[in-house]
Structure 1
């Protein structure tokens, strides 16, 4: 049986870090579309700070869960000793230190007065990207050595970034749809319509990069054989992850080719309530599958792929 606390902390960490990176990436696109002055954009920037704060808490919980599992003891003193050992003498600990430092800065950025908003959001993107990339050192991507190890690590980092951009965009679109449905103003509805269409096009690049990096990671972890997909718990969970990912692709395609164009036509007609409601339902379903994918990834990271 998996360590429930470890899996839960990894899920919380993956989700919060994905938002800490993906939300400001989305906001940058909104700013480029001349939406920087809208209240909803400022809310998304503050939500990024909240995500960074949650990631800090999840990092602490994950460290404790990892140390507890390694110590094989419930004694707080023994767990603390293992945690100190992890932080000071392992690459996982160094990555943890870098992540926490980046997140501490990211938490404060939305509330600081320096620079224009694009500068602050750009700082959030960089800090969130650094924090998200540190997850690669705690996964299977760090098990290879030499040039192959750097290739594996780089592939993992790119995979994390594009996945984070996707998850952040889904949540941002849900927030936009919520406020648009609340009649916050036609500007928010137009921003939702433009963002849904714009992200749908950008999503094609995300999907291609996810598929390529995912296949590369599979080859580096399990090997060219497909036996790893049909034997053992790791293979079954990986197949479940692929199934959930396929479901996300179907919903993303529906958003791009059906719901976003319908919203645009409804915006031209002046009655957007039904189109927003349909898009919001699709986004919630897509987010549910994204959480399932992240949960399976959190579980997979605790397993031996060859076991």
Structure 2
């Protein structure tokens, strides 16, 4: 159970670390001149949250390295020595990925701290998103994605990396919209519904790309692991957990469709009628449910990676 919890926290932390600045950078570029910047949190609070998340990511990586080394070597933590730790870090793919992740997060921490001290308005630069994205993709070496060899192995790894980045972008957007909706619920500004409608429409394009990548890479990954057989879905622990994940993903897609084809058009109609509070309330509830489902999916992913598709 501690191993599953550690994997879950690692995945969620790095997905938010990547997804939130990606959303913020995109939102700042789309903001109407003179309008509110579409940040999930006030600038200072968001910068602090990202900084804490990056530091937390380094700590989680260190704990993960210790746990995996002792597990592989069959020793207790008190018996862990420098030679065993060095073997894991430099001789295994997961260990080298952990080293790369740590280096990327340290650079990100330094950059975030430097930018916070300068208080520049260009804080959410592409570099923040790129560093966080590279740290996130190193998690591909913690699961089945890095288990292949040769050209098929490279393709499997590329699909795993794309899946991670798309998931991080989507989960980051859900978290960002939830934060924005909760903030706007206490806002007295009359243009809140209009700005929300503008951002929902603007993000429909990237959201569609995220979903498309998740579906395509998920199908590719499953076919690669199972030889395109449906039997493992019903005769293995991995398959049954995957069915749970697919059911949760289908629920998220249903909510996304509800947003795009019903709630957002209804919000537009209410705005034209001079209101929008009812639709904002409905969106707030729907996005909160979507966020809870996203957390459940990350939990299922953290467990899935530890089971064999055929076991």
Q: Deviations over 1:74-117 (max 9, x none)?
A: 34233776443211221211111111111122234344236954
Show the counterpart of 2:111.
109
Q: CA RMSD in A?
A: 2.4
Map residues 190-269 of structure 1 onto 2, 5 A cutoff.
Answer: 190-269=194-273
Shift in alpha-carbon separation, 1:85–1:176, aligned structure 2, 3 A: same
**Contiguous gaps of at least 5 residues in structure 2:** none
1:166 aligns with 2:170: yes
Q: Distance in 2 between matches of 1:153 and 1:117?
A: 36
TM-score (norm 2): 0.89
Provide the residue aligned with 2:98 in structure 1: 96
| CA distance in structure 1 between the partners assigned to 2:82 and 2:286 by the alignment | 44
Corresponding residue pairs, total: 304
Aligned residues of 1:71 and 1:79 also touching (Cα < 8 A)? no
Residues 198-233 of structure 1: CA deviation (Å, up to 9, x unaligned): 223332222111111111111111211111111110
CA distance in 1: counterparts of 2:193 and 2:127, whole angstroms: 27
Task: Specify the alignment match of 1:10 in structure 2.
Answer: 7
After superposition, the Cα gap between the structure-2 partners of 1:272 and 1:37, relative to the gap in structure 1 and judged at 3 Å, is closer
Aligned to 2:131: 127
Tell me whether 1:24 sits opposite 2:28 in the alignment.
Answer: no
The CA deviation at 1:188 is: 5.1
The partner residue of 1:302 within 287, 306, 310 is 306
Post-superposition CA distance 1:247-298 (Å, at most 9, x none) = 1100111111122223333344444333222111111111111111111111
SS at match of 2:2: helix
Counterpart of 2:157 in structure 1 is: 153
33-42 or 149-158, which moves further after superposition? 33-42
Looking at structure 2, the residues matched to 32 and 275 of structure 1 have their Cα atoms a distance apart, in angstroms, of 25
How far is the alpha carbon of 1:176 from its aligned partner? 0.5
CA gap 1:207/1:109 in 2 versus in 1, 3 angstroms: same
**216-225 vs 112-121, which deviates more?**
112-121
